[in-house]
């Protein structure tokens, strides 16, 4: 029934307790509730268990009736008989009961559902309320937390500690009676105090700033005033120059030099300082000065950033230019690189050493920047004219003057081992090629500049320079004096006069007949080609840096050739003589024992021959002794060699005890003074 | 540098082997005596250092002209004094002091005073003097069989003395014999050697071999320079002198060989016959090097001062 269904639906939606259509109708008709039949009421009164039993019974009765009907029908009773009708009626009654029971069951179910539904609704409402409350709780908790976490700005302010606060703050701010108990008040009070203090300090700060400004201005004014004084001072300095010279206190010069010296490279600076110090302390004749281009030196020491900027600009320009120009050849590039590597610092040092006789040794020191070595060039200026000795040409040659100042210090190769790698890069094989241009890099020059390239000593820098300064200067002076003495001696040797000084006369007899006839210089090549010097070569007593000379001593028909090796360090090292005699045949120190003895007489006895200090007479004494020995040799020839009995060419004039001694029958070459006779050693 | 200068001008004047034959002592013109170890120098693993002296000391002021070895001592003669050094100490490389300790030895000394002195080594007293030479004496040798002393000197005479009676027996003036005389050099005799009846002498006159019974020269050796030392060895005669070689000569008078050596002229030759292991000949002269010959036909190596 659709209308029933609709009606049934409506009560479900409205959720009335009255669910049945009858009751609904009953309500709609008016309020006759008391008389309306409520099946629900009846339902409450019935026991479901009984209803179930009733159902079972009814079903059983129905089944029984059905069976009876069946029986009747099978037994052939007529349809519509009374028994059958009776039974049918009973069945219908039972059916009605069943229907009622069914209805009741449905109604019970519905009721149960409605109750459950209701209960659920209630629970839902409560649940919702619970949720609302929980949500509120949470919200409140969050708020509380937020409040608790709140950091007020005041906590960031560093406040003075409480004790300090109570001590320092005045009572009106600190209000101890209140604040001691109440933390909030205490904090407020402290903040107040802080604020006051800060205000006060801000005031002070402003005042200090103002004062500073004032002082600044005052300084500026004074500075201007001072700078205005500068020209005036300059004038005074200029005016005082003559006074300085007069009093020989060259302050301005020294100042200027000090100013320029600031731009010197470190080794030259060390050298300058040490040389000046040495000059002041020990040797008043030594003077040191700086020469060269100061501006260039300043340019070198400018900071690199400026030059880099400049470089990048100029590079850009250059590139444009280069594309137009032809690119330089590889050789030229290499040449440029070499020139760059061998560049000298624009400033150089000049040290003058004066000797007693007035001659001066000028030393020019240069610093090669990329190679980090010092080099030296020399010049000698003498008071007297030094011309006239051909053989002495090499003596004062500035290239070789300072050779071997210390043993084996040739100054041909750079002493800095790192230069080897630098040279390889630009293709320089030996530094010797550039020495005449750039100066000699002697080891002592490096030491004077404080540059230490070997691991010999621990000293560096100024200490190294100071430790070598005195000795080197003395050696330099000695070298110059020795060379000058030799120069003088050579000029008289070339005139065949052996200049024997008065103090050395006692070494020789009064009469010396053999005389020097020639004194010439030889080159290393010529010297090594001589036959009678090979033993010296073999013994390793020759160096290319030595000076070589040939002396010829003659008497009658006898001619003695003496090849002399003079070490650059003369007179520390004795000159070495090798002899060859041309007299009735050729003999040399190698073939004849007596000539060998003569060589030994001249070469070995330094203590006798060197004469008074500083021993510049050594060479001339050796030559004189050579002449004396030749005299002895020729006179002591016992027999005329060719067998004839004629008069001997050289009559014996020398006194001696024995003419021959020893298995080699040596002649007496040793001269005894003052008795004047000759004996064997 | 000074040391190499000294070495350049050094001459070796005398040599002597130790009694055991393993060491060589050499004296030079600076008065130094150097002791070399032959066993080290001759060993198969000898190096440069083993050719240097094991000991080098200054013995005299002047040159050391003569060295002589007894059984225990080395005697060195300088310019007027004779010193004795103990070989035991020398071998131990101890810087020795002069010591004399001999038994039953006599030393015959020929000196610059033209006389021969005979000294008793034990007491150190000169027992007797043999006078006869008119000029100083260069060389001496001793004939053991007849106990005769031979001496040669500057006066050109070789005198033979009887050592028991100390009297002269013979006098040979070598320069008077035409076959030997070389007037261009002089008449002095600088080397003497004897071997039973034979005598070698040379110097100014040529080196000549004499038969002592007949007192006449049997052969004269045509060596150019003046010979300074000569020895008999087996059937050879070896002599050194002016010229950088050792001459091997035969008794007949021929020069068999001339072996070159380093010094330009030689002063001394010594044969080490006491020790069969180190049988060497050493020569020294105008050089700081002493040549050592293991096989007498060629130079093996040089010792150096």
- pLDDT score at A25: 53
Nearest CA in chain A to B240: A663
3-state secondary structure labels for all residues of chain B: CHHHHHHHCCCEEEEEECCCCCEEEEEECCCEEEEEEHHHHHCCCCCHHHHCCCEEEECCCCCCCEEEECCCEEEEECCCCEEEEEHHHHHCCCCCCCCCCCCCCEEEEECCCCEEEEEECCCCEEEEEEECCCCCEEEEEEECCCCEEEEEECCCEEEEEECCCCEEEEEEEHHHCCCCCCCCCCCCEEEEEEECCEEEEEECCCCEEEECCCCEEEEECCCCCCEEEEEEECCEEEEEEEECEEEEEECCCCEEEEEECCCCEEEEEEECCCCCCCCCEEEEECCCEEEEECCCCCCCEEEEC
Instruction: Give the model's confidence band at A109: pLDDT under 50 very low, under 70 low, under 90 confident, else very high.
Output: very high
Pick the residue of A609, A664, A668 with the most B CBs within 10 A to test the interface with B by mutation.
Answer: A664
Q: What is the pLDDT of residues B112-166, one digit of tens each?
A: 677 777 777 777 777 788 888 888 788 888 887 777 888 888 888 888 888 788 8
* Residue A273 pLDDT > 70: yes
What's the CA gap between A474 and A361, in Å, rounded?
12
A663 CB neighbours in chain B (<8 A) are 13, 65, 138, 190, 228-229, 267-268
Within the 131-160 window of chain B, which residues sit less than 8 Å (CB to CB) from chain A? 136, 138, 154
Domains present along chain B, CATH in parentheses:
105-237 (2.130.10.10)
> Is the CB of residue B166 less than 8 Å away from at least one CB of chain A?
no
Task: Evaluate whether B200 touches B209 at the Cβ level (below 8 Å).
Answer: yes
Residue A642 has pLDDT above 50, yes or no: no
Say how far apart CA B282 and CA B17 lie, in whole Å: 10
Q: For residue A87, give every residue at least 6 positions away whose Cβ sits within 8 Å of its Cβ, in sequence order, or none.
A: A65, A68, A69, A72
Task: Give the per-residue pLDDT at A140.
Answer: 96
Distance CA A513, CA A511 (A): 6
Residue A310 is predicted with a pLDDT of 47
pLDDT band at B68 (very low <50, low <70, confident <90, very high): confident
Q: Per the CB < 8 Å rule, is B185 touching A681?
A: no
Residue A193 pLDDT: 83
Residue of B nearest to A407 (CA): B1
The Cβ of residue A133 has, within 10 Å, a number of other Cβ atoms equal to 10
Cβ–Cβ < 8 Å for B223, B216: no
The overall average pLDDT reported for chain A is: 80
What chain B residue is nearest to A593 in terms of C-alpha separation? B286
Task: Give the tens place of pLDDT for each residue, B169-224.
Answer: 888 888 888 888 887 788 888 888 888 788 888 888 888 888 888 888 888 888 88
Quick one: pLDDT at residue A250?
Answer: 67
Is residue B116 within 8 A of residue B161, CB to CB? The reply is yes
3-state secondary structure of A187: helix
Most A CBs within 10 Å, among B4, B6, B8, B227, to test the A interface: B8
pLDDT grade for A638, boundaries at 50, 70 and 90 = low
Residue A311 has pLDDT above 70, yes or no: no
Q: What is the mean pLDDT of residues A505-533?
A: 85
State how far residue B6 is from chain A, nearest Cα, in angstroms.
7
pLDDT grade for A200, boundaries at 50, 70 and 90: very high
Residue A7: pLDDT band (50, 70, 90) is: low
Nearest-Cα residue of chain A relative to residue B267? A663
Instruction: Quickly list DSSP for A93-129.
Output: HHHHHHHHHHHHHHHHHHHHHHHHHHHHHHHHHHHHH
CA-angle at A254, arms to A250 and A256, nearest 5° = 120
ipTM: 0.85
Least Cα separation, residue B106 to chain A (angstroms)? 24
Query: Which structure tokens are listed for A290?
Result: 């700086």
Shortest alpha-carbon distance between residue A670 and chain B (Å): 13
Give the span between the Cα atoms of A603 and A587, in whole angstroms: 19
How far are the Cα atoms of A195, A329, A646, B155, B211 from residue B175, in angstroms, in the given order? 140, 88, 21, 9, 16
User: Which is more confident, A120 or A306?
Assistant: A120
Q: Provide the mean pLDDT of chain B.
A: 82
Of B8, B188, B265, the CB nearest to A664: B265
Closest CB to B265 among A593, A600, A658: A593
Q: Characterize A33-65 residue by residue with b for buried, 16 or more Cβ atoms within 10 angstroms of its Cβ, and e for exposed.
A: eeeeeeebeebeeeeeeebeebbeebeeebeeb
CA nearest A536 in B: which residue? Answer: B8
Please say whether the beta carbons of A352 and A287 come within 8 A: yes
Nearest to B13 among A576, A604, A663 (CB): A663
Indicate the SS3 state at residue A550.
strand
> What are the C-alpha distances in Å from A492 to residues A488, A499, B142?
7, 7, 59
**Would you tell me which residues 15-54 of chain B have a C-beta closer than 8 angstroms to some C-beta of chain A?**
29
**CB nearest to A603's CB, from B5, B190, B285:** B5
Which residues, listed in sequence order, are joined to residue A489 by a DSSP beta bridge? none
Confidence of residue A635 (pLDDT cuts 50, 70, 90): confident
Of A75-84, A131-140, A557-566, B277-286, the range with the highest mean pLDDT is: A131-140
Buried-exposed string A337-348: b where 16+ CB fall within 10 A, e elsewhere: ebeebbebbbbb
Q: Are strands B137-143 and B125-131 parallel, antiparallel or unpaired?
A: unpaired
Q: How far apart are CA A18 and CA A16, in angstroms?
A: 5
Give percent above pLDDT 90 in chain A.
Answer: 12
Closest among B195, B193, B223, B194 to B207, alpha carbons compared = B223
Total length of chain B: 305
Task: Give CA separation, A609 vs A513, A515, A579, in Å.
Answer: 20, 19, 18
pLDDT at res. A262: 82
Instruction: Report residue B111's pLDDT band, with 50, 70 and 90 as the boundaries.
Output: low
- A410: CB partners within 8 A, 6+ apart: A403, A404, A545
Is B225 in CB contact (< 8 Å) with chain A? no
Strand partners, B139: B152
pLDDT tops 60 at residue A306:
no
Is A32 a residue whose pLDDT tops 70? no
Measured between alpha carbons, how far is residue A10 from residues A16, A20, A109, A433 in Å? 9, 10, 18, 129
The answer to whether the CB of A377 falls within 8 A of the CB of A440 is yes
What's residue A131's pLDDT? 97
Mean pLDDT value of segment A409-420: 81
Task: Write the pLDDT tens digit of every residue in A206-265.
Answer: 999 999 999 999 999 999 999 989 888 888 888 887 877 777 666 767 777 888 888 888
Q: Which of A218-222, A330-334, A342-346, A571-575 has the lowest mean pLDDT?
A: A330-334
Burial bucket for residue A8 (CB in 10 Å: 0-12, 13-18, 19+): middle
Is the predicted pLDDT of residue B94 greater than 60, yes or no?
no
The neighbour count for residue A414, using CB atoms within 10 Å, is 26
């Amino acid at each position: 029934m659709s209308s029933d269904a609709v009606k049934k639906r409506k009560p479900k939606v409205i959720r009335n307790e009255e669910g049945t259509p009858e009751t609904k109708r009953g309500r709609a008709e008016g309020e006759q509730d008391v008389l309306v039949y409520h099946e629900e009421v009846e339902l409450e009164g019935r026991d479901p268990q009984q209803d179930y039993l009733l159902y079972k019974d009814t079903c059983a009765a129905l089944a029984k009736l059905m069976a009876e009907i069946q029986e009747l029908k099978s037994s052939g009773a007529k349809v519509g008989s009374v028994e059958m009708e009776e039974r049918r009626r009973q069945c219908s009654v039972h059916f009605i009961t069943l229907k009622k029971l069914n209805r009741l069951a449905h109604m019970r179910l519905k009721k149960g559902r409605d109750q459950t539904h209701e209960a659920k609704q209630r629970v839902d409402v409560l649940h919702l309320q619970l949720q609302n409350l929980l949500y509120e709780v949470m919200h409140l908790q969050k708020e509380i937390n937020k409040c608790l976490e709140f950091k007020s700005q005041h906590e960031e302010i560093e406040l003075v500690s409480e004790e300090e606060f109570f001590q320092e703050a005045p009572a009106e701010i600190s209000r101890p009676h209140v604040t001691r108990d109440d933390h909030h008040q205490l904090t407020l009070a402290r903040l107040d105090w802080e604020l006051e203090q800060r205000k006060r300090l801000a005031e002070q700060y402003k005042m200090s700033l103002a004062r500073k400004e004032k002082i600044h201005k005052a300084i500026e004014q004074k500075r201007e005033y001072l700078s205005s004084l500068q020209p005036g001072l300059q004038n005074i300095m200029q005016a005082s120059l003559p006074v300085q010279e007069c009093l020989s206190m060259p302050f301005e010069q020294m100042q200027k030099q000090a100013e320029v010296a600031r731009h010197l490279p470190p080794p030259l600076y060390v050298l300058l300082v040490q040389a000046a110090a040495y000059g002041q302390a020990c040797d008043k004749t030594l003077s040191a000065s700086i020469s060269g281009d100061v501006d260039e030196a300043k340019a070198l020491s400018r900071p690199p950033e400026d030059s880099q900027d400049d470089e990048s600009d100029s590079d850009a320009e250059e590139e444009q230019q280069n594309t137009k120009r032809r690119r330089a050849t590889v050789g030229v590039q290499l040449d440029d690189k070499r020139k760059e590597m061998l560049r000298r610092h624009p400033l150089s040092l000049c040290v003058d050493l004066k000797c007693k006789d007035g001659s001066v040794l000028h030393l020019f020191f240069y610093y090669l920047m990329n190679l980090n070595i010092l080099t030296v060039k020399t010049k000698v200026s003498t008071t007297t004219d030094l011309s006239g000795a051909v053989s002495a040409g090499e003596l004062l040659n500035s290239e070789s003057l300072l050779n071997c100042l210390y043993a084996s210090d040739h100054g041909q190769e750079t002493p800095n081992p790192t230069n080897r790698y630098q040279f390889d890069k630009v293709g320089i094989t030996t530094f010797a090629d550039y020495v005449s241009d750039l100066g000699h890099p002697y080891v002592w020059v490096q030491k004077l500049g404080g540059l230490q390239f070997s691991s010999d000593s621990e000293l560096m820098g100024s200490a190294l320079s100071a430790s070598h300064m005195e000795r080197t200067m003395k050696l330099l002076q000695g070298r110059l004096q020795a060379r000058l003495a030799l120069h003088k001696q050579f000029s008289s040797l070339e005139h065949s006069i052996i200049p024997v000084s008065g103090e050395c006369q006692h070494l020789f007899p009064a009469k010396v007949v053999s005389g020097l006839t020639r004194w010439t210089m030889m080159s290393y090549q010529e010297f090594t080609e001589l036959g009678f010097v090979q033993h010296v070569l073999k013994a390793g007593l020759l160096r290319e840096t030595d000076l070589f000379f040939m002396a010829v001593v003659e008497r009658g028909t006898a001619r003695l050739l003496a090849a002399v090796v003079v070490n650059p360090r003369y007179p520390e090292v004795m000159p070495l003589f090798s002899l060859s005699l041309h007299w009735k045949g050729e003999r040399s120190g190698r073939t004849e024992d007596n000539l060998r003895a003569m060589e030994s007489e001249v070469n070995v006895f330094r203590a006798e021959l060197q004469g008074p200090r500083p021993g510049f007479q050594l060479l001339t004494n050796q030559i004189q002794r050579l002449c004396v020995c030749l005299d002895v040799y020729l006179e002591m020839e016992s027999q005329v060699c060719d067998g004839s009995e004629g008069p001997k060419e050289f009559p014996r004039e020398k006194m001696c005890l024995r003419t021959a001694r020893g298995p080699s029958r040596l002649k007496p070459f040793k001269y005894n003074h003052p008795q004047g006779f000759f004996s064997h050693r | 540098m000074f040391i190499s200068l000294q070495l350049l001008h050094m001459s070796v004047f005398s040599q002597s082997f130790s009694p055991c034959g393993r060491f060589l002592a050499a004296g030079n013109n600076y008065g130094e005596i150097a002791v070399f170890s032959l066993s080290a120098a001759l060993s198969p693993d000898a190096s440069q250092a083993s050719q240097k002296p094991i000991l080098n000391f200054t013995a005299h002021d002047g040159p050391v002209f003569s060295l002589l070895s007894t059984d225990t001592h080395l005697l060195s003669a300088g310019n007027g004094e004779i010193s004795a050094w103990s070989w035991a100490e020398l071998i131990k490389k101890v810087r020795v002091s002069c010591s004399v300790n001999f038994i039953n030895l006599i030393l015959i000394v020929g000196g610059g005073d033209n006389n021969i002195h005979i000294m008793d080594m034990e007491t150190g007293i000169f027992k007797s003097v043999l006078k006869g030479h008119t000029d100083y004496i260069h060389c001496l040798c001793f004939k053991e069989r007849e106990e005769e002393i031979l001496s040669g000197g500057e006066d050109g005479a070789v005198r033979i003395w009887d050592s028991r009676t100390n009297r002269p027996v013979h006098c040979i003036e070598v320069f008077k014999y035409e076959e030997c005389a070389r007037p261009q050099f002089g008449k002095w005799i600088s080397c003497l050697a004897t071997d039973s009846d034979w005598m070698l002498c040379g110097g100014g006159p040529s080196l000549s071999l004499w038969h002592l019974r007949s007192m006449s020269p049997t052969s004269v050796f045509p060596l150019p320079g003046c010979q300074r030392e000569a020895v008999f060895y087996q059937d050879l005669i070896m002599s050194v002198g002016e010229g950088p070689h050792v001459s091997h000569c035969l008794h007949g008078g021929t020069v068999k060989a001339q072996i070159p050596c380093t010094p330009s002229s030689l002063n001394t030759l010594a044969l080490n016959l006491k020790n069969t292991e180190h049988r060497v000949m050493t020569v020294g002269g105008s050089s700081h090097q002493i040549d050592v010959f293991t096989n007498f036909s060629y130079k093996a190596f040089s010792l150096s001062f």
